[in-house]
Amino acid sequence: MPDKGINRIESLDSNRVLRISKKVRKIFEKYEQEEGCCEAGGILLGNVATDYVEIANVTVPTRFDLRNLFSFVRAKIPAQLRINKSWKKSSGTTIYLGEWHTHRETNPRPSLKDRQMISKVYKETKMEIDFLYLIIVGLNGTYWIGKQTGKRLIKVDNFEIR
């Protein structure tokens, strides 16, 4: 596992609640995958506190992303620029927290490709946290949320929308 830095924010044994802002929920609703439409996705941005992690904002698909009915591949450069801008604007409190994308199913769950992607991003990303989230947005307001820590992607059931 790459060195995540001396000041990393530990989470492995944490009972932090995941908070998803209403703003983010509305974006997820907007991009819910309708029949015949391509998957959508982006990055998760927010902050980490002692007792919670808040996803306060997300990016939406750009013209540089690769989208089709069954996959979404985010373009790296536009996403990194957005991460840098959010971090700078917040004086370092808003950070990259993971990835999201849609699936056209009412009981969404990550594919093997999704699991491999979040594991690879976790291993290759320099960050101050030792976890990343993966959110799969399904139909009718359903979600699958996972937390990548080390070699494991663990389903998250403890979350709230605020």
Q: Kindly state whether residue 23 falls inside one of the protein's structural domains.
A: yes
Q: Kindly state whether residue 57 falls inside one of the protein's structural domains.
A: yes
pLDDT at 43: 98
Give the pTM: 0.90
Q: Kindly state whether residue 64 falls inside one of the protein's structural domains.
A: yes
Domains in the chain, number = 1
Domain ranges, residue 144: 17-161
Q: Kindly state whether residue 12 falls inside one of the protein's structural domains.
A: no
**Residue 70's CATH number:** 3.40.140.10
Chain centroid to CA 137: 11
- Please state, for a pLDDT cut of 90, what percent of the chain lies above it: 83
- Please state, for a pLDDT cut of 70, what percent of the chain lies above it: 91
DSSP tag of 65: S
Residue 46, strand partner residues: 55, 95
Say if residues 40 and 60 touch (Cβ distance below 8 Å): yes
Q: Kindly state whether residue 5 falls inside one of the protein's structural domains.
A: no
Q: Kindly state whether residue 147 falls inside one of the protein's structural domains.
A: yes
Q: Please, how many CA atoms are within 13 Å of residue 31, restricted to the half-sphere of its CB?
A: 24
Q: Kindly state whether residue 4 falls inside one of the protein's structural domains.
A: no
